[in-house]
Amino acid sequence: MTRRTAGAPFRGDCAESAAPLPAPELTEAECRRCGTYIAGLDGRYACGVCGWVNDHSEGHRRLPRADEDPDRPPRGRRRPKPGP
């Protein structure tokens, strides 16, 4: 994977990312490893009993990008360094 340099344009589908994302859907399934009944968001699961996790690409919708996160701090602002 290559990193994008700061200021380089993103070559993705901008029209798709301009619309707000719909609310996630609660989905349910059985764990593929141990058979425990589990719930997840948009087809992405993690079993709390055996630790099995399905691949992110198996989800029903695309994952949001960092710039689509409403809780993301403003650009140019960094997290404070932890104290001693």
**Model confidence pLDDT, tens digit, residues 18-30:** 566 678 899 999 9
From CA 31, how far away is CA 46, in angstroms rounded? 8
- What is the predicted pLDDT for the residue at 60? 87
- What is the predicted pLDDT for the residue at 18? 57
From CA 42, how far away is CA 24, in angstroms rounded? 6
**Model confidence pLDDT, tens digit, residues 33-79:** 999 999 999 999 999 999 999 998 898 888 878 888 777 777 776 77
- What is the predicted pLDDT for the residue at 1? 47
